[in-house]
Amino acid sequence: MSSALHEPLDIRVVRKIYPASGDREAQPVLKDIAIKIEPRSFVVLTGPSGCGKSTLLNIIAGLDSEYEGDIGLGGPETRVGYIFQSPRLLPWRTVRQNIELALPDGDPKHAQIDEILAQVGLEGFGSQYPERLSLGMQRRAALARGFITEPDVLLMDEPFVSLDDPTAEGLRELLIALWNRRPTTVIFVTHDRTEAVMLGTRILRMSAANATIVSDDTVSLSTSERTDKDKVRAEQNRIFHET
């Protein structure tokens, strides 16, 4: 583990604008974002669709450099992982080979692949190709690939979107268990309020337009309470002021 795990993340986006193009005027997306994130916390970004959650995640990941501000992730040795909405598994490679691609040749973590496949419920599926797996199983494989590198920061952009409720709920429970076994700093994007409360230790809500952070709440649920639907619903009511 790198020393970055012991340092808070310092995220500051003064302004992000999509420039004018053709007949389209310049579009302000983000403004006055200032977040400090403690190591090994699970922070959820939530807000209306199109408010800039994924844009902010891409800025944190270093995939978008066209903004005003500064992203402090603890230093150049910080390992950053990214799990996207799509599992992004290469169809011509097996599940095991897809996970191996995340690791350098000779990395001792290659020996942990069978272990993490078992942890995500894919024991015995390492030799299968993605097309033979359900979408839920593909997303389990993406979780395994995201955690096998032991990243200091793991970014997750709505990784359970478009799944049926039982499959999504099962994957949330799996993610909680996996994060407890392999703690890392997670920044997770979702528009699902139940998912936000079930997973997050802290929830940051973004406004709808020219987005900024409008609320910052700590989730008070214990690990065991996060699978209790009544307790999750009560906490959701408290944080989001639902009745």
Q: How many CA atoms lie within 13 A of 40 on its CB side?
A: 12
Residue 1 corresponds to which tokens in the numbers above? 């583990």
Residue 74 corresponds to which tokens in the numbers above? 């603890």
The total of other beta-carbon atoms located within 10 Å of residue 70's CB is: 10
Q: How far apart are CA 188 and CA 175, in angstroms?
A: 11
Q: How far apart are CA 51 and CA 208, in angstroms?
A: 5
Cα three-residue angle 195-196-201, rounded to 5 degrees: 130
Residue 57 corresponds to which tokens in the numbers above? 């995640």
Amino acid 2: pLDDT: 46
Host H or E run for residue 199: helix 193-199
The total of other beta-carbon atoms located within 10 Å of residue 177's CB is: 14
Q: How far apart are CA 36 and CA 12, in angstroms?
A: 9
The pLDDT tens digits along the chain (243 residues) read: 444 457 899 999 999 999 888 888 888 999 999 999 999 999 999 999 889 999 999 999 999 999 999 999 987 889 999 999 999 999 999 999 999 999 999 999 999 999 999 999 999 999 999 999 999 999 999 999 999 999 999 999 999 999 999 999 999 999 999 999 999 999 999 999 999 999 999 999 999 988 999 999 999 999 899 989 999 999 999 999 875
Cβ neighbors of 108 (< 8 A, separation 6 or more) are none
Chain centre to alpha carbon of residue 56: 12
Task: Characterize 199-227 residue by residue with b for buried, 16 or more Cβ atoms within 10 angstroms of its Cβ, and e for exposed.
Answer: bbbbbbbbbeebbebeeebebebeeeebe
**What fold, for 40-54+78-240?**
Rossmann fold (3.40.50)
| AA letter at 14 | V
